[in-house]
Structure formats: structure tokens, C-alpha cells
Amino acid sequence: MDQSSDQNPDQPARKGASESSLEDDKFIIDAKKGDQRAYKKIMEKYEKPLFFHVYKMIKDQNQVEDIVQEAFMKAFKNLDSYDTSYAFSTWLYRITTNHTIDYLRKKKLKTTSIHNPVRTREGEMEIEISGESRTDRDIIRKERKQIINHAIKNLPEKYRVVIEMRHLEELSYQEISEELDLPLGTVKAHIFRAREMLYKALIDKKDKF
């Protein structure tokens, strides 16, 4: 993307864009400059619409909140790839939809036991995972857990506490808010930041995953 699109978001391809869309263009420019308020404004504007968008596909409120946060994180990490000749909302909804579909696919895979026989024309057969024994999988799973736990323990306390309550104790955002006597928005912001920090800490360990 050339610099001209950053300097002039209302380029010819964007003529006729809605006020909301032009507002988004300004947020994006500020966000790319590192303005944290711009990120917050984007989240405040789209958090509820995205929640209801995802909720149509997944009826688990807690899981929906996680998916929406993860979609924001994915979008913010890829702002440089956003083509400003299109509405930001369209791009953000596409990312969120794709992330939701990925979640549903993974969930479906997890519900398929590798030990249950699959019926084929030739009869029943066991699903085998090539080159990976049960022992190998157990070792990899254990190492992955240790790496994640170590990364969580190294987070600043205010982020470590909320991420542990969310993912280890499996409390809802509202429950965490009440338990810590923090505004719900602060809890969501802390969890979002904690996930960002975990991602950066774990990216160097990606070979373990």
C-alpha cells in the first residue's frame, strides 16, 4: 500500500462513502501512527455489532466475546494489509466471519474421536495419525502447556490475574469484573492486552505448536 492512501483516505474510489466509513478511515490513520485511543474507538464502535454477528453462528456468549476480541487482535495486527479503497467495516466483518468459521471447524474436528472406527465401503477402519504416536502427542501437549503456563506467569500481575481467571478458572468477563471490582471494559481491555503479550511471547516458540 503506498503512502498516498494514508494521506488521503477520501480518494476517488472512496467518493460517496458514508460518514461512518470516513470516520473509520481517520481512526485507521491514527491507529497506524500508534494512537491507542484510535484502537479503543474502533473497538467501542464495533464490539456490539460484531458480538451479535458472531452470536448468530455461536450461541455461547463467553466464547463469542473471546472470538470478537481475537478478531480485533487479528485485524489490528494486519492493518497494513487493509485496502482503504474499501470500507473498513467490510474488511473487519470478513476477518471476524473467517475467524468464527475457523473456530467452528476446529470444534468439529475435536468432537471427532481418532479412536472411533470410520465406516467405509470396505468396512470399518481406524483413523491413524501418520508418524505420530499417542506418546508423541502426549509429550507435545505437555510441552505446549508448560510453555503457555510459563508465558502466563511472566505477564505483569494485572494481566496475569485476568488471563488466569478467564482461561484457567473459566470465569466469564462479568464474573471477573465483579470478582476484581473492575469495570467490564477494563477487564476486556486487560484480557486483550494480555493476549497480545502472550502472542508475542509465544511466537518465538511456534515450532512447539
Residuewise pLDDT in 10s, the chain (209 residues):
444 344 444 343 456 678 888 899 999 999 888 888 888 899 989 999 999 999 988 888 888 888 998 899 889 888 888 888 888 999 999 999 999 998 888 877 654 444 444 444 444 434 343 444 455 556 656 666 676 777 788 888 888 888 888 877 778 888 888 888 888 888 888 888 888 888 777 665 554 44
C-alpha dist (Å) from residue 53 to 48, 57, 105: 9, 8, 18
161 near 180, Cβ under 8 Å? Answer: yes
User: What pLDDT is attached to residue 112?
Assistant: 44
In this structure, is residue 40 part of a structural domain? yes
Q: What is the DSSP letter of 169?
A: S
In this structure, is residue 27 part of a structural domain? yes
Domain of residue 199, CATH code: 1.10.10.10
User: What pLDDT is attached to residue 172?
Assistant: 85
Q: Which residues contact 52 (CB under 8 A, 6 or more apart)?
A: none
User: What pLDDT is attached to residue 120?
Assistant: 41
In this structure, is residue 36 part of a structural domain? yes
Domain of residue 28, CATH code: 1.10.1740.10
Task: Spell out where 22-126 has E strands.
Answer: 118-120, 123-125
Task: Spell out where the chain has E strands.
Answer: 118-120, 123-125
Domain containing residue 151:
135-208
